Amino acid sequence: MSKTLRLTEKWMQRGLWLVALVFASFLIGLGGTLVGDLPKVEQPLSLDDFMDKAAVTALRNGISSNERAEQDANAALEQARLKRSVAQADSAAARETFNNWLSTRRATQLSEQDPELVARTRALDGLKDKERTAGMAVEAQQQAALDAQQGTVRERRKLADLEQAAQKLLNAEYRRIELRVFLYRLALTLPLLAAAGWLFAKKRQSTWWPFVWGFIFFALFAFFVELVPYLPSYGGYVRYIVGIVLTVAVGRQAIIALNRYLERQKLAEQLPDAQRREELSYDTALARLSKGVCPGCERPVDLKNPEIDFCPHCGIGLFDHCQVCSTRKGAFAKFCHACGASGKHEHLPAQPVAGQA
């Protein structure tokens, strides 16, 4: 068809298709933004919405208290360990000094050193007592840290049980929200698809066809592309079912249109040649001729053969002769290409050119 259009008309047609695409792109952008914002109609949820707030607060406070107690116990344990180390060092040094002194005492066998022996033994016992006391302090802090750690574990286990139960409820609610949001999107895109179908059937060849086609592109993109990322596991069924329904509907209309076309062609081929050529539009005839087919029956015809003036399939006239200059020309041409005379006349046999027998 583009070969039969005027140059300006051809570029205008391309410009209008560009308008349709730009219009569709803006509609797609608006639709994508709207579809993406649909989940905002639902309130955001968290695990706390499905747990006993008093119990959760008590458990979390208990965990915090146990963690602080464990930290305090660990800090005190470090101090106790340091004190025990000092006591152990003092006790070891005193023990070494005592052993050295005792060795000297045995060598000299001086009886006047017996009170000093008693005093040194008592001092050594005191250091051992300090060492034991420091060890007990370490053990006490270790027990406190262990109690706090175990308390934290118990509280966390209870909190984890509550969170696990709440997670199941939250997941179920998320599934319900997903279904509702999907239905919102479906309720938005299905009417667009229906409107696009009506526009395609009724308005695709109207004066405002660029906007019609732009809306059709937008509706198809919104349903088959924009809706896909948001489809739940069962949403694919909806998309495929709608696709099947649309395919069946379009296929049925195509089959009906084909049968009607064949019926019209059979009736048209029974009409007189002049009436058939009169009923064919100029652009339609030129478009079919440019494709090498008969304008009447659309079957292939060798138009380059100078001996073919009529379609061998339906009998419609394809070429005639100008009444003025007798030049062979197309039967559907409005003017003779040789002399420019009007070509609107009944099909007549070729007239002899002046000077010919």
Q: What is the pLDDT of residue 105?
A: 59
pLDDT at 348: 41
Residue 305's alpha-carbon distances to 67, 302, 309, 317, in angstroms, are: 101, 6, 9, 14
66 with 180, same domain? Answer: yes
Q: What is the distance, to the nearest Å, from the Cα of residue 253 to the centroid of all Cα atoms in its chain?
A: 32
Give the domain-ending residue among 205, 232, 259. 232
63 in the same domain as 149 = yes
Residue 326 and residue 186 share a domain: no
Q: What is the largest CA-CA distance in the chain?
A: 176
| Domain count of the fold of the chain | 2
In this prediction the pTM is: 0.43
Q: Are 327 and 338 in contact (CB under 8 A)?
A: yes
How high is the pLDDT of residue 229? 57
Question: What pLDDT, on a 0 to 100 scale, did the predictor assign at position 103?
Answer: 64
Q: Is residue 251 part of a domain?
A: no
Residue 190 resides in a domain: yes
Same domain? For 183 and 276 the reply is: no
Domain coverage including residue 310: 269-357
Give 170-193 pLDDT, tens digit per residue. 888 878 877 777 777 777 888 888
228 and 273 inside one domain: no
Q: Is residue 91 part of a domain?
A: yes
Looking at the structure, tell me whether residues 227 and 310 fall in a common domain: no
Burial of 93 (0-12, 13-18, 19+ CB in 10 A): exposed
Same domain, 228 and 295: no
Domain annotation covers residue 260: no
CA distance readout (Å), 293 to 39, 312, 333: 56, 11, 16
Same domain, 170 and 290: no
Mark which of 180, 213, 232 sits at the end of a domain. Answer: 232
Q: What is the pLDDT of residue 196?
A: 85
Same domain, 26 and 158: yes
Specify if 237 maps to a domain. no
57 within some domain:
yes
SS3 track for the chain: CHHHCCHHHHHHHHHHHHHHHHHHHHHHHHHHHHHHHHHHHCCCCCHHHHCCHHHHHHHHHHHHHHHHHHHHHHHHHHHHHHHHHHHHHHHHHHHHHHHHHHHHHHHHCCHHHHHHHHHHHHHHHHHHHHHHHHHHHHHHHHHHHHHHHHHHHHHHHHHHHHHHHHHHHHHHHHHHHHHHHHHHHHHHHHHHHHHHHHHHHHCCCCCCHHHHHHHHHHHHHHHHHHCHHHCCCCHHHHHHHHHHHHHHHHHHHHHHHHHHHHHHHHHHCCCCHHHHHHHCCHHHHHHHHHCCECCCCCCECCCCCCCCCECCCCCCECEEECCCCCCEEECCCCECCCCCCECCCCCCCCCCCCCCC
The reply to whether 97 and 203 lie within a common domain is yes
Q: Which sign, positive or negative, has the C-alpha torsion 294, 300, 301, 302?
A: positive
- The pLDDT score that the predictor gives to residue 357 is 30
Q: Looking at the domain assignment, is residue 239 inside a domain?
A: no
Residues 282 and 226 reside in one and the same domain? no
| 82 and 228 both lie in a single domain | yes
58 within some domain: yes
Positions of the chain with pLDDT under 50: 1, 345-357
- Please answer whether residues 115 and 105 qualify as being in contact, where contact means their C-beta atoms are separated by less than 8 angstroms: no
